[in-house]
Structure 1
Amino acid sequence: MSISASINISLSNHSRESLSLPDLFQNFENEGWTYVKSNGEITILPLGDDDYNWTSSVLNRDSFFDILKKKQDQKEIIGIELMRVDSEVGCELLIFNTNQMMFSLSIARKKINAKDDIDITDFSWYLERVLPVLKNLQVEQISCEQF
């Protein structure tokens, strides 16, 4: 049986107005996340995508942020694969608008160590590593789901 787990975060309208995508991704890097794989590729939802067709390609920083800006201007869902630099754990980040984000915890999902092979996502582990990224923003709502 496959487990799906996600963390949904809503930011305040004030945060939405002040959120800069380059700053957000710089914060991710500062907190131990990367979006560039060891082969130099970045996995994103491309421009014009409306069917979650993730693509990987080598992009320089300016091209990457240009794509994000265009997607934001066209009110498209921004999607990017994030990996921890200190482990194999990662996630797909979806930004539906600049104040609603979903982290799909699908890459080497971190689990709670428990007896009897209980398959429960360790949401605390993720929150400890995601919330510092948003430290200068007002988080209004957080929900953690597993099904």
Structure 2
Amino acid sequence: MSVQASIDISFVREQDPSLVLAKLLGCGWSEKFNEEVMFLPVNGFDDYDWTVLRGADFDVAGFLEDVRVGGRAGIVLVFNDVAGGEFLISKKSVSMSLSINRVVLVDRVPDFSWYISRMLPAFRDLEISSIQCEMVC
């Protein structure tokens, strides 16, 4: 039986999603996993049409500009090549689906604190209104 797990972080004020993503990338999160980058292009966001590129072919600066203009981001991030998942970043929130090498406490229960403690340094100058963790079996 599979487990779905996610973390949703909401901000008090609207944020520029490209800056939120840049902060995550500057705090140990990486867009590359197994030498590939998986992301939602701006024109494929509504259809949830994920694209995969070789890491060497991905233009981070160009993607950040597309996110700034489009107002949202969808990208897979991993922390220090250990664990990660799909991030959906909007002006008001960050949602993460824990799907890559999930860190668990016991059995199948995710260690949400492991992920949150690695995301919060990126948000230290942003006001957070809520953090919600969910696990569905």
TM-score, length basis structure 2: 0.85
Deviation of residue 127 (structure 1)?
Answer: 0.9
Counterpart secondary structure, 1:28: helix
Q: Does 1:91 align with 2:85?
A: yes
Distance 2:21 2:32 in 1: 11
Checking the alignment, whether the CA contact within 8 Å between 1:47 and 1:70 is kept in structure 2 is: no
Query: Which protein has the larger Cα radius of gyration, Structure 1 or Structure 2?
Result: 1
Identify unmatched segments of 5+ residues in structure 1.
none
Identify unmatched segments of 5+ residues in structure 2.
none
C-alpha distance 26-69 of structure 1, shift in aligned 2 (>3 A): closer
The code of the aligned residue for 2:84 comes to G
Provide the aligned C-alpha RMSD in A: 1.8
Percent sequence identity is 33
1:35 aligns to what?
31
Aligned residues: 132
1:2 aligns to what?
2
Distance 1:66 1:29 in 2: 14
Deviation of residue 28 (structure 1)?
Answer: 1.4
TM-score, length basis structure 1: 0.80
Distance 2:73 2:110 in 1: 24
Moved more, 77-86 or 19-28: 19-28
Which portions of structure 1, spanning 4 or more consecutive aligned residues, are displaced by more than 4 angstroms?
none
